[in-house]
């Protein structure tokens, strides 16, 4: 489990509930991937991450990802390819990030929550990167035989 900002106290104490999150790793044919900034007013505002959001009651990861990407960035995704799962212990929440690769979508990117977006390759040029995003960059580096991906 990745612990973000370890020196800060954890809200909710040791028995806190795990928040399930669906995360879309959108990948273009040339290998570039989409990062979006955290919207104004949210925890870690301005940090860069892969788009997605919390699962609602009764939703699967795929259903949540389809809903979140439509709501947040205005696209409709085709096939969802479950990839990896990472637990991250943030000071404000304990989250299980369900990363899914997405290679096809329709619609133009529209940042509905005032966030920014950037198509990136390794090494990424946007900063700061959300702690839960760093493992994905390392996974990409491993897949692509690249070193120095997270800095």
pLDDT for res 44: 97
Domain regions of the chain by residue span: 2-144
Average pLDDT per run of 10 along the chain, which is 151 residues long? 94 89 98 96 96 97 98 98 97 97 98 97 96 95 74 43
pLDDT for res 150: 47
Q: Which fold has domain 2-144?
A: Nucleoside Triphosphate Pyrophosphohydrolase (3.90.79)
Closest to 11 measured CA to CA, from 66, 82, 87, 90 = 90
Query: Taking a C-beta distance cutoff of 8 angstroms, is the pair 106, 69 a contact?
Result: no
Whole-model pTM over 0.75: yes
pLDDT for res 151: 43
SS (H, E, C) 84-149: EEEEEECCCCEEEEEEEEECCEECCCCCCCCCCEEEECCCCCCCCECHHHHHHHHHHHHHHCCCCC
- Quick one: how far is CA 144 from the chain centroid? 19
């Amino acid at each position: 489990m990745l612990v973000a900002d370890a020196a800060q106290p954890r809200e909710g104490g040791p028995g806190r509930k795990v928040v399930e999150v669906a995360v879309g790793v959108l990948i273009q044919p040339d290998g570039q991937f989409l990062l979006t900034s955290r919207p104004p007013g949210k925890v870690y505002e301005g940090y860069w991450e892969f788009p997605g959001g919390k699962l609602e009651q009764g939703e699967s990861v795929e259903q949540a990802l389809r809903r979140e990407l439509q709501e947040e960035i205005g696209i409709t995704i085709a096939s969802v390819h479950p990839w990896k799962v990472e637990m991250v212990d943030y000071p404000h929440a304990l989250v299980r990030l369900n990363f899914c690769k997405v290679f096809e979508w329709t619609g133009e990117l529209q940042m509905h929550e005032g966030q920014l977006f950037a198509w990136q390759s390794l090494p990424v040029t946007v900063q700061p990167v959300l702690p839960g995003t760093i493992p994905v960059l390392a996974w990409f580096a491993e897949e692509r035989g690249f070193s120095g991906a997270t800095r």
